[in-house]
Chain A
Amino acid sequence: MALLRVENLHKRYGHEEVLKGVTLAQDAGETKVVIGPSGTGKSTLLRCINRLTEPDQGRVWLEDTEITSRRTDINRVRAKIGFVFQDFNLFTHLTALDNVRLGLMKVRRMPRAAATGRAMAELERVGLAAKANAYPAQLSGGQQQRVSIARALAMDPKLILFDEPTSALDPELIGEVLSVMIQLARDGMTMIVVTHEMGFARSVADEIVFMEGGVIVEQGTPDKMFRSPEVPRTGEFLRKISDLYGESR
């Protein structure tokens, strides 16, 4: 059984239907890359998965828990789904260590010493143990994003959702974040990544999902999507972003 199942998800903002029935399934250990033009509903899709945004219709399951059910304790589900935002959203009044520790102590109720140990291990994993006592404002964008990845990892998530994790970064800082993510993918983390970094997609994605106008236009392995897309529009879009973002990374 798939780890995550999304069935016929709909979301409307005013008159605009942003998601028009999105269905996908994801196995444990799989990395999916979601691409598509701006305003297509990629962020909305990610947010509907852990109900940061309430979908209007459709269902989402994490293993055998129906996330979209009214009876589900959404906070328990969210604790199992990491979320990495485009602009990091670190807690600015807390050090890197406290940012990573907060969820452990306040959500998972871990004692301080254990939480510290775990948080330090995660900071180590993203290469920032030395910055544990720095505040977000003292860190570069790339470092902040790595802290936010450590914050997600510390919760032992079954799945991490990344919403354009490198889009707010200066080009020279993108690599350090991507290499952390590549390592995660190789370690078997389950991830859905909205990104236009096609180098990343080619090297670690099990599947690329192309969304446009609130629907999934086509999905498949990077090989299929790049070499022989079934829908002409897919090839066109992939060529366009490959030109724009390059594939060097």
Chain B
Amino acid sequence: MNLSVWTEVAPHAPVLLRGLLINIQLLLGLISLGLVVGVVTALIEVYAPRPVGIAAGAYTWFFRGVPEIVLLFLFYFGLSQFGVPVSAFFAAVLALGLRSSAYQAQIFRGAFQSIPHGQMMAARALGLGRLRAIVHVVLPQALRLSLAGWSNEFSSVLKDTTLAWGIGVVEIMRQASYIRARNFTLTLPIYVTVALMFLVLTYVGNLAIGLAERKLRVPGLEGQR
């Protein structure tokens, strides 16, 4: 690849960035959905009565076991089949978000279980109800502990947003394929550009999470990076 190739790629950058913006939107949507559902699932797995806990276990088993692309197709075509018309974007957020929730639940579950039971007892002894003790004592500590694992999940789902291409979301991979269709000589440089964009995004994201981790660190407490 000589220099002239890159001058040819440059004009396409805005379109690629527009595509990337969709990936970022997918990411924000799916990771928030995954966070909320993941925390709730973990809470259920750790604290709820057994039958409910087993149901939550089955839920994570399903979403961890089915390939992402299959989930995307199931949600996109499945929901419209059942008379729920969904946009490809929404189906992607839902499928990838619920899948992420299953992984995030694993992370949070471990964190919940690692908070010493004595602190829960102390909170209950003060007169806090079970849920309020969880909210005020266990949750803030567990979320902190989860940040390291969560940063892995973040990098992983960031990249997974490109799979939305498979159900027709016009994100960066789809934009790249449009450009390539018009000019095959750009195939490699375009994908190199896409790769670079993701590398930068992953770097920035992890930097932000690292900062949050440092900011939330509890002074004197060991076992936290």
A contact residues vs B (CB 8 Å cutoff): 50, 52, 75-79, 81-83, 85, 87, 89-93, 102-103, 106-107, 134-138, 148, 151, 155
Q: If the complex has contacts A85-B118, A135-B218, are A78 and B125 also in contact, measured as CB distance less than 8 A?
A: yes
Residue B22 at the A interface, CB < 8 A? no
Q: If the complex has contacts A85-B118, A87-B118, are A92 and B125 also in contact, measured as CB distance less than 8 A?
A: no
Residue B84 at the A interface, CB < 8 A? no
The residue in B123, B127, B128 that gathers the most chain A C-beta atoms within 10 A of its C-beta is: B127
Count B interface residues, CB 8 Å.
23
Residue B200 at the A interface, CB < 8 A? no
* Chain B min CB distance to A105 (Å): 9
Structural contact, A52 and B124, CB atoms closer than 8 A? yes
Residue B122 at the A interface, CB < 8 A? yes
Cα-based distance from A75 to B124 in the complex (angstroms) = 8
Structural contact, B122 and A92, CB atoms closer than 8 A? no
Structural contact, A92 and B121, CB atoms closer than 8 A? no
Structural contact, A91 and B124, CB atoms closer than 8 A? no
Structural contact, B219 and A137, CB atoms closer than 8 A? yes
* Chain A min CB distance to B98 (Å): 29
What chain B residues lie within 8 Å of A91 (beta carbons)? 119, 122-123, 137, 141
Q: If the complex has contacts A107-B126, A135-B221, are A93 and B121 also in contact, measured as CB distance less than 8 A?
A: no
Contact partner, B218, options A77, A89, A92, A103, Cβ 8 Å: A92
* Chain B min CB distance to A94 (Å): 8
A52-B121, A81-B125 given; 7 more Cβ-contact pairs under 8 Å: A75-B128, A75-B129, A89-B121, A91-B137, A92-B119, A93-B141, A103-B126
Structural contact, A137 and B129, CB atoms closer than 8 A? no
What chain A residues lie within 8 Å of B124 (beta carbons)? 52, 78
Contact partner, B126, options A92, A134, A138, A151, Cβ 8 Å: A151
Structural contact, B128 and A85, CB atoms closer than 8 A? no
* Chain A min CB distance to B14 (Å): 45
Instruction: Please name the residue on chain B nearest to A139 by beta carbon.
Output: B220
* Chain A min CB distance to B66 (Å): 36
What chain B residues lie within 8 Å of A87 (beta carbons)? 118
Contact partner, B220, options A77, A83, A137, Cβ 8 Å: A137
Interface string of B117-157 (1 = CB under 8 A from A): 01101111111110010001100110010000000000000
* Interface SS of chain B: helix
A–B pairs, 10, beta carbons within 8 Å:
A83-B122, A85-B118, A89-B118, A90-B119, A90-B122, A91-B141, A93-B141, A135-B219, A135-B221, A137-B220
What chain B residues lie within 8 Å of A148 (beta carbons)? 122
Residue B67 at the A interface, CB < 8 A? no
Structural contact, A78 and B118, CB atoms closer than 8 A? no
Cα-based distance from A50 to B222 in the complex (angstroms) = 32
* Chain A min CB distance to B221 (Å): 4
* Chain B min CB distance to A149 (Å): 12
Residue B49 at the A interface, CB < 8 A? no
CB proximity to A under 8 Å, residues B188-225: 218-222
Cα-based distance from A87 to B125 in the complex (angstroms) = 14
What chain B residues lie within 8 Å of A151 (beta carbons)? 122, 126
Residue B11 at the A interface, CB < 8 A? no
Q: If the complex has contacts A52-B121, A83-B122, A85-B121, are A138 and B127 also in contact, measured as CB distance less than 8 A?
A: no
What chain B residues lie within 8 Å of A85 (beta carbons)? 118, 121-122
Residue B83 at the A interface, CB < 8 A? no
The 5 closest A-B pairs by CB, nearest first: A137-B220, A79-B127, A89-B122, A89-B118, A138-B220
Residue B51 at the A interface, CB < 8 A? no
Instruction: Please name the residue on chain B nearest to A137 by beta carbon.
Output: B220
Cα-based distance from A103 to B122 in the complex (angstroms) = 10
Cα-based distance from A81 to B141 in the complex (angstroms) = 26
Cα-based distance from A82 to B219 in the complex (angstroms) = 27
* Chain A min CB distance to B131 (Å): 11
Structural contact, B127 and A155, CB atoms closer than 8 A? yes
Cα-based distance from A83 to B118 in the complex (angstroms) = 12
Structural contact, A138 and B219, CB atoms closer than 8 A? yes
Cα-based distance from A151 to B128 in the complex (angstroms) = 13
What chain A residues lie within 8 Å of B220 (beta carbons)? 134-138
Cα-based distance from A17 to B137 in the complex (angstroms) = 33
Cα-based distance from A75 to B218 in the complex (angstroms) = 29
Q: If the complex has contacts A102-B136, A151-B126, are A92 and B221 also in contact, measured as CB distance less than 8 A?
A: yes
